[in-house]
Chains A and B, each alone.
Chain A
């Protein structure tokens, strides 16, 4: 089994170096989801990284609805073999396949839907899950959303549909860090009670520690054991925005700003280089 801690440390280094290189991007939420994506792509998802196809028959599908945390996705995709790790150096640069927000426009392997304009991913995931059902493909569809993103109305259209129509091959994950650009989610526009909302919409709700691989293994095992209950699953994943870099935690300040040279050095010193920087 892969050493997930080691991979996650490298992913965090990649994130910081990517956003630093172009002085833009979203490190905070990327760092916060580094453990989840490391777990999903190295231990959980059934995928074929070496021969990417858009249709992905008999593969699990992952959709990133909060597309602004593209750095973590790009790093994990590259480290999982979808495209060369060196390509991370092109992030947000002209003519790159690694757009600021994920796109399929430039045919980057691993990505099947543009995201960035928030609130759309869950609907897309429902559609993909529905097609899988029609085709007798019993693999699963995953969709990660931000907690601030839940302020978008379309999310609740999708929530109502999936609960009502029993889309049971769908696993939603909420990155619950209580931070968004303008401050704490609870101050900007409260989303509580979060668990009750999803339950009321017909979802089977779970809670997970987004920085504990043991918690992830345990929760996903429970999700699997409840697969036959016919409900879509929603995992509320508690995370810390900026996780892994001391000065980036405990604030929303690093949602969408990049470290300078000095800050990068301080941050990298906290994260061992395990797989080799790109």
Chain B
């Protein structure tokens, strides 16, 4: 079975297009950037709404604080920079001025994970999902492709409260329909299966779909879930799928510690323990290389998901 796509595009461009549309439809939306307007694809919003675009310069802590303050009076600030500078660099600012203070700030982060590529480990944050999901009041959204990132950008503007939106740099297949409804906290069940559940987020969802095809060729029926919202987590989707399949593989372009896999494991261990395998980076920093070289070296390829599924199936009985 061939997988259907609508071409390839980077998820950050989905964010840029979503922000452009918000500029037209929601006068309360303002955007802030720390000297990465082009990389974040915020140019259109900047051009169309110069009065609502704020160039902060290379000062991410100040950007988060200003965004938090802008909410007082009803603005909906979208901050944009690389994922590392959106999270680990400004964790305390987010913690105190955004999450603890319940400010309606949308922290939008591009170049997440290994697929940033050649810049290397200083820029390849692999801990951000973990850091953000640990914060009370924070919502964490990791869309899978261009169309979904666009829809997620629109959805977080309408969501009341702090949000972390994570997307990336490389061009990846578009597989969600343009008009698909995006609901924060409601997972997408992409493929029904009976032997193993694969739960993925971000760039790894497409690879999960590819793995499902390869597993089908081996006579293994995999269910594929796009867990685009890490928090609040769709526990019902996890539990009902694993009740059927009895085992699970999680796949994420993130550290094994603290990410989607941990979140899923917590749900399962509390109410219905099941064997789980983790496709994720195992307690190491990244390095320079092309995105595909890095995904191969750090075991985030389609074949890694296939092998994880076979391992977890072997543990099931």
Contact = CB atoms under 8 A, between A and B. Distances in A.
A135 B92 contact: no
Contacts of A56: 72-73
Most buried by B among A125, A127, A137, A158: A127
A251 interface: no
Contacts of A157: 59, 61-62
A85 to B, nearest CB: 25
B93 A131 contact: no
Contacts of B282: none
B88 interface: no
A135 B73 contact: yes
Max count, chain A CB within 10 A of own CB: residue among B67, B68, B73, B96: B73
Interface stretch (B50-58, B179-187, B265-273): B50-58
A131 B75 CA distance: 7
B114 to A, nearest CB: 29
B74 interface: yes
B96 A130 contact: no
Given A135-B73, A160-B59, A161-B66, A130 B54 contact: yes
Interface string A147-178: 00000011001101100000000000000000
Contacts of B65: 120-124, 126-127, 154, 158
Interface stretch (B37-45, B97-105, B121-129, B225-233): B97-105
A134 B96 CA distance: 25
A186 to B, nearest CB: 26
Nearest to A165: B54
Contacts of B102: 104-105
Contacts of A154: 61-62, 65, 93
B239 interface: no
Contact of A54 (B67, B72, B100): B72
Contacts of A160: 57, 59
A114 interface: yes
A264 interface: no
A128 interface: yes
Given A126-B65, A154-B62, A157-B59, A120 B73 contact: no
A130 B53 CA distance: 11
Contacts of B97: 113-114, 120, 123-124
Contact of B72 (A120, A122, A131): A131
A123 B66 contact: yes
A113 B101 contact: yes
B64 interface: yes
Contacts of B289: none
A149 to B, nearest CB: 13
Given A113-B101, A161-B62, A127 B69 contact: yes
Contacts of A125: 69
Contact of B93 (A116, A120, A134): A120
B68 A127 contact: yes
Interface in A88-137: 103-105, 112-117, 119-132, 134-135, 137
A185 interface: no
A134 B51 contact: yes
A114 B69 contact: no
B274 interface: no
B66 A127 contact: yes
B46 to A, nearest CB: 15
A131 B101 CA distance: 17
Nearest to A117: B96
Contacts of A124: 65-66, 68-69, 97
B100 A105 contact: yes
B69 A130 contact: yes
A150 B158 CA distance: 37
B74 A55 contact: yes
Nearest to A124: B69
B70 interface: yes
Interface in A51-98: 54-57, 61, 63
A246 to B, nearest CB: 36
A154 B57 CA distance: 13
Contact of B70 (A115, A128, A137): A128
Given A127-B66, A161-B62, A137 B73 contact: yes
B98 to A, nearest CB: 10
A113 B69 contact: yes
Contacts of B74: 55, 131
B92 A113 contact: no
Nearest to B105: A127
Contacts of B68: 113, 123-124, 127
B201 to A, nearest CB: 29
Interface of B: 30, 51-52, 54, 56-57, 59, 61-75, 77, 92-93, 95-97, 100-103
Interface of A: 54-57, 61, 63, 103-105, 112-117, 119-132, 134-135, 137, 153-154, 157-158, 160-161
17 contacts: A56-B72, A103-B100, A114-B96, A120-B92, A120-B93, A124-B66, A124-B69, A127-B68, A127-B70, A127-B71, A131-B70, A131-B72, A131-B74, A134-B75, A160-B59, A161-B56, A161-B59
In the A-B complex, the 4 residue pairs with the closest CB atoms = A127-B69, A123-B65, A157-B62, A131-B73
